[in-house]
Amino acid sequence: MMSPLEVVRIPVLSDNYAWLIHDPASNETVAVDPGEAQPLLDAAAARGWSIGQVWTTHWHPDHTGGNEAMREAGARITGPGAERAKIPTLDVEVGEGDTVRIGDHVARVMAVPGHTQGHIAFHLADDGIVFTGDTLFAMGCGRLFEGTPDDMYANMLRYAAMPDSTLVYCGHEYTQSNGRFALTAEPDNQAIVERMRVVDDLRTRGEATIPTTISEERATNPFLRAPSAEKLGELRRGKDGFKG
């Protein structure tokens, strides 16, 4: 039986989360989406870990800004081959159905376009973990900078099919704003009302709301709950202009 992975949340920039994944059995460590390098390098060093890999979900600088320094520190950079031209630090290009490993733990690469067209997620199904970058957020989804509602709706269907207990590690602390919009989208959804009590309390105390779970998102995320791509697009346009 594999030893469980350790996942450490590292706040970077203004509202980003990068992640350290550590496998105690192999002593390997992966950084996910380092918007800047030093906080992750410091956190790893404090734990006696050495970062050997970076897993990149998409090209945006707040997710790749630390790649070069990570590479100089000895890490191999893996990311979406479809965005190779925008991620010059890539050492390993991956796409839909490819796999990456940390020790004996395997992550399958999912193509999840829409926020950017080459965006990928890393799904460690045996560990019940998915790193969604800027596609699935707690009570929200990413802006459609490069894709369409159809793209994002297809992503939501794939996430919704994961087991309830799957832990979702996303790229930003957007939960409070997302939840306020969710309340306007589904004002009679008592699960959202109750979740927002918890979220507001956590944020008042300066605590994080991530990771979330697929179960929580099925109950409270209007985008994951959308019955069609058309409805998701309507919601996304509403959220883009939301000032709450």
123 is catalytic: no
119 is catalytic: no
Largest Cα–Cα separation, the chain: 52
58 is catalytic: yes
Say whether 172 counts as a known binding-site residue.
Answer: yes
From 23, 33, 127, 134, active-site residue:
134
Q: What is the 3-state secondary structure (H, E, C) of 164-203?
A: CCCEEEECECCHHHHHHHHHHHCCCCHHHHHHHHHHHHHH
Say whether 60 counts as a known binding-site residue.
Answer: yes
What span, in angstroms and rounded, lies between the C-alpha atoms of 18 and 172? Answer: 9
From 62, 105, 123, 127, active-site residue:
62
Say whether 63 counts as a known binding-site residue.
Answer: yes
Interior angle at CA 39, CA 136 and CA 8, nearest 5: 50
What span, in angstroms and rounded, lies between the C-alpha atoms of 52 and 75? Answer: 4
Say whether 62 counts as a known binding-site residue.
Answer: yes
134 is catalytic: yes
151 is catalytic: no
From 22, 23, 33, 58, active-site residue:
58
115 is catalytic: yes
Say whether 119 counts as a known binding-site residue.
Answer: no
The total number of residues written for the chain in this structure: 244
From 22, 63, 119, 123, active-site residue:
63
Residues with a catalytic annotation lie at 58, 60, 62-63, 115, 134, 172
Residue numbers belonging to the annotated binding site for Zn(2+): 58, 60, 62-63, 115, 134, 172
Residue numbers belonging to the annotated binding site: 58, 60, 62-63, 115, 134, 172
